[in-house]
Structure 1
Amino acid sequence: GGHNLLFTGPPGAGKSMLAARLPGILPPLQSKQRLEVTMIKSLSSGGSGVNMASHRPFRAPHHSASMAALIGGGRQAKPGEISLSHNGVLFLDELPEFSRQTLDALRQPIETGEVEIARAEAHITYPANFQLVAAMNPCRCGHANDPELSCHRIPQCINEYLGRLSGPLLDRFDIRIEVPPVSLRDMLSPDSGEKSADIAQRVANAQKVQFDRNQGCLNANLDGELLRDLARPDEDGQVLIDKITNEAANSKLRSRGYKRIIRVARTIADLDGCENLAARHIASAMVWRGMASDVKE
């Protein structure tokens, strides 16, 4: 569905590895998307030695990257990492280590799918329709949930570390997943799990349904009447929606958060092959947004 994703877990849990595997389960670029990706890459490199794009971009800038490098700019107003990630994945590892000003500059492009670069010599709008994937430790030492390894500054360490991220930026992550450390026994297990090819086929089928039904966009970009028309719940789903939209039942949920829950639920329903949203789809979307306690209630 193109949803933004945040991994949180201790060092060595596999957050970066999971993010790097994401492009492998995404559908191939369409002809128009290949052209767009190639044109942006050509602009960034000065137009020399660029071949037609054959796969979705996966960009992983270091946390020391400047705002101009990430958003775009410079004297020639070149595209930045968010435009080079167009139609692909932008991965920000160690998210709180990026400067807060640089991260907050991502907020508008995430919503609009484009970025405007204004300079004295040029005023250019670049496409920036990317899937944002980020990873972070629960605290600076990385072991907040492990009493044996955590530092003596817990919980102050957690609050200071998370305080580097603004609420509006965190609100733009549709899915927030806790990644626990993998035991050595599980790592050595012969069970390889589900194959990437099988997952990729399910994703491709779901995205085809979305493009055909959503007037050419993914569920992450649904809004307004189109979102209301295409994300209709069944009877049990409506009961749960009535609960989460009740201000008294969940005062911390805002309009943007509610829409993101419904978009994710729509994607879960698509993967499940269901036309309407069932209560289980909405509950899963709430859990993935970090609202497990509200579902239990």
Structure 2
Amino acid sequence: MEILWKSNILLILAYFISVVGASIKYNQRTFITAKAINFIDPTKHGFRVILLDEFLKTHLAPTLLPTLYITAIPFKKDEVAISKVFYPDTIYEDKQINISDLKEKAWYYLCIEWENFNRHNETTGTDCRIYRTLDRYGKGADTTVTDIEATDVSSQMFMFRIRSVVDFPIRITASLQGGNQASSPPSQVFHVTDSADLDVTFPYLKPDKDYGKLCILEEPLISGYTAMGRLITGMTMEKCYFENLKTKDYELSMFDSEASAFKRAAMASKTFSKPVFWLLFILSSLAGILIGQR
């Protein structure tokens, strides 16, 4: 009887604990992916960030007790990240936040983070972009490529020269995209740690074909942590150049090369014949004068 009585008590306690536990809702932390940045205005020593209206209404409503963080993670080695904290009463009406004390003409991961609370959950999120501060003349940049030119276009090859200005490690991938070809030539990949001129070559192309545009993918090989401790890495920038890159027709290309060779030979012949002509003219004139004197 005593054992049965104790077992009944245990069953009652277990049922009571399960009912009480079911009525308790524990707070959960949820990470969401949402766009927070509407526009970023770089300055010489910082950034002014305009936030999206929908983001403000959904995630920064004062009733949610939100907190907003902005972090600038530098690409240059041995420099530390800079962070600032904001609360709704300082940003909800202005819709903008600022960060300063950054380096001039420097690249950064710029991250907006937030956290808010409702009755049962805590919500967090991050929106990061790559930006550069202005230089001393007030000029900005959305790519590390400062100059690009097509050095040779033939019936079977494209050649380009790219100037990349960096002071941090970066992977640069050049590819042809958007043409009417079933397959594109392999991409050209470069690892750069300092400013350099890169020669990009796409050989073995088909004559008289459209290969689209030259696209440059830039991936800074830099990582860093935000104010909330999130690791940021692997972000990229991409920009395309030229339109409707087309190889030359093979026969016309060969004709042009032969014509060019003939033209060079003719020009060389003309260049050589002029001095000879004037030399003969002078000699004949002198001979005439000497004969006349006799």
The TM-score range, normalised by the shorter chain, is: under 0.3
Structure 2-normalised TM-score? Answer: 0.20
The structure with the larger Rg is 2
| Higher RCO (CA 8 Å, separation ≥ 6 residues) | 1
Structure 1 length normalisation: TM-score? 0.20
The structure that is strand-richer by fraction is 2
More helix by share: 1
